[in-house]
Amino acid sequence: MSKSTVASRYAQALFELAVQHHQVDRIEEELRTVRQVFSENPELAQILQSPKWSKDQKKQLISTSFNGASEHVLHTLFILIDRRRINEAAAVADAYIERALNARGTAVAHVSSATKLSDADKQALSAAFAHKVGKQHLEIHNHVDSSLLGGVRIRIGNRIFDGTLRNKLNRLERELKR
């Protein structure tokens, strides 16, 4: 996930436009789709960066690929094409989504666990850890890690909360060695 200044500036401009037009949630969902399309189809980015295609052809491809997307999202992608920055499209989407989440008081939490978390578990984790990072809610992304014996490891931004059984055993071992 790129944290480029360019992506941040485009995302900020798009976010301000979305706020003015009361479309923050709609544009967020559309940008999630854009991010997914670019990540699942690296050949699309290659085509859009190719000098063999004219800017009009690239814009037509974007219009066709993201048919039904809002005018604001399409125009942002067109500007990225015009300025030869289409390689930043996924980073712009990430930066916008981060702004939208922050505006709602939500943070993204990457949770590693031995088994898949239930919805109730996700809600409990959100309630327990959101206030620790100054947010109202957490958007939980669960990753099953079969190497974990039990417990969970939570990464929110650059903070890690390690409640895994392995970590607890390591702490116990260090205490016993003292």
Range of the structural domain that residue 163 is part of = 105-177
Which H helix or E strand runs over 156?
strand 152-156
- Quick: pLDDT tens for 158-174: 899 998 888 888 888 89
Split at pLDDT 50, 70, 90, the class of 99 is very high
What amino acid is encoded at 120 in this protein? Answer: A
Taking 60 as the threshold, does the pLDDT of residue 1 lie above it?
no
Q: Are residues 95 and 151 in the same domain?
A: no
- Rounded average pLDDT over 48-76: 90
Predicted model pTM: 0.76
For residue 110, what are the β-bridge partners? 141, 155
Split at pLDDT 50, 70, 90, the class of 97 is very high
For residue 153, what are the β-bridge partners? 112, 162
Q: Are residues 78 and 42 in the same domain?
A: yes
Taking 80 as the threshold, does the pLDDT of residue 93 lie above it?
yes
